[in-house]
């Protein structure tokens, strides 16, 4: 077909994504992506002494910070990870521990106990976008990404949806706290509802007053506002460390995997 192996894979993945149903379900993508499976983990350009697997571990544990793009040699490895079974299993492990923790709590049942959810790569998955545009090797293109967001077609991350439903059944209210701007409120609300996140206590988007502020400052400030209103943050889940660091983070935090980008 005249396509390089990785480009050919993206073409096939995109066809699968287009054909999949996103309403309340997750995209079914073949797990055996041999074109993207390195024999032992390629060495990276920026970190020549690390394999891609070791680089991903260092990213997830917040030991490598402030990075702008993923190492070029690791794009195939990350594509295999994100579209394969391991990413789903890692997400399931996080959601399972969150459910075990929530079930262990003695809840007051006064309607003031909340659990904070990030949105992108936590509640909603942008894998259809990244499967088309690459896994973090190129600098982030806000124009293309916002075009994708405004379609409102992101599927749920099913493990997070499972956690969400369990928390509601326990009487815990949900607050979505996202770095998406206010002008994406309507499309975000509709997207969440269309894939199963049908109710919440609050949906907080980043207003202009936080222009230039880091995600840590913004999210800490908004969590503080919630606690001043009398809410108790008993849980907090996100894919970025900036979702979980800072002040007023909650009684316990849970980090979902995401080696595709870094937000400070």
9 confidence band (pLDDT: 50, 70, 90): very low
| pLDDT number for residue 50 | 72
Domains by residue range for the chain, with CATH: 36-255 (3.40.50.1000)
| pLDDT number for residue 254 | 98
| pLDDT number for residue 49 | 57
Q: Are the C-beta atoms of 160 and 256 separated by less than 8 Å?
A: yes
Residues 51 and 44: their CA atoms lie apart, in Å, by 6
Q: Which residue do the tokens 């192996």 mark? A: 5
Rg of the Cα atoms in the chain: 18
Tokens representing 249 are 């983070």
Is pLDDT of 19 > 50? no
pTM of the model: 0.84
Higher pLDDT, 47 or 244: 244
Is pLDDT of 183 > 50? yes
pLDDT single digits (tens) 109-163: 999 999 999 999 999 999 999 998 999 999 999 999 999 999 999 999 999 999 9
Q: Are the C-beta atoms of 76 and 38 separated by less than 8 Å?
A: yes
Tokens representing 14 are 């995109």
Name the phi and psi angles at 177, rounded to 5.
-125, 110
Residue 195 gets which letter from DSSP? T
| pLDDT number for residue 126 | 96
Q: Provide CB contacts within 8 A for 193, sequence distance 6+.
A: none
Q: What is the mean pLDDT of residues 60-70?
A: 95
For residue 202, what are the β-bridge partners? 175
The two beta strands, 232-238 and 113-117, are parallel
| pLDDT number for residue 17 | 45
| pLDDT number for residue 22 | 39
| pLDDT number for residue 44 | 53
Tokens representing 10 are 């993206």
Percentage of residues in the chain with pLDDT exceeding 90?
75
45 confidence band (pLDDT: 50, 70, 90): low
Residue 156 gets which letter from DSSP? B
pLDDT single digits (tens) 185-239: 999 999 999 999 999 999 999 999 999 999 999 999 999 999 999 999 999 999 9
Residues 221 and 139: their CA atoms lie apart, in Å, by 28
The chain-wide mean pLDDT, for the chain, equals 86
Is pLDDT of 31 > 70? no
Tokens representing 224 are 């503080």
Q: What is the mean pLDDT of residues 159-174?
A: 98
Residues 119 and 188: their CA atoms lie apart, in Å, by 9
């Amino acid at each position: 077909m005249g396509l390089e192996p990785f480009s050919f894979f993206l073409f096939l993945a995109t066809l699968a994504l287009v054909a999949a149903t996103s309403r309340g379900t997750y995209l079914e993508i073949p797990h055996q992506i041999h074109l993207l499976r390195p024999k032992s983990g390629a060495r990276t350009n920026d970190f020549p002494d690390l394999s891609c697997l070791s680089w991903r571990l260092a990213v997830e544990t917040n030991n490598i910070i402030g990075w702008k793009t993923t190492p070029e040699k690791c794009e195939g490895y990350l594509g295999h990870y994100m579209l394969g079974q391991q990413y789903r299993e890692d997400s399931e492990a996080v959601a399972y521990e969150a459910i075990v923790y929530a079930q262990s709590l003695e809840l007051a049942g006064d309607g003031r106990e909340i659990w904070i959810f990030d949105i992108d790569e936590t509640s909603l998955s942008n894998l259809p976008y990244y499967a088309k545009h690459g896994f973090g090797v190129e600098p982030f293109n806000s124009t293309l990404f916002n075009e994708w967001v405004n379609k409102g077609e992101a599927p749920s991350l099913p493990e997070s949806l499972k956690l969400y439903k369990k928390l509601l059944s326990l009487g815990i209210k949900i607050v979505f706290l996202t770095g998406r701007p206010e002008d994406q409120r309507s499309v975000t609300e509709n997207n969440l509802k269309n894939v199963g996140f049908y109710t919440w206590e609050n949906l907080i988007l980043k207003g202009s007053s936080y222009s230039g502020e880091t995600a840590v400052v913004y999210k800490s400030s908004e969590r503080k506002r919630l606690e001043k209103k009398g809410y108790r943050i008993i849980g907090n889940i996100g894919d970025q460390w900036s979702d979980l660091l800072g002040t007023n983070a909650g009684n316990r935090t849970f980090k979902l995997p995401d080696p595709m980008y870094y937000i400070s």
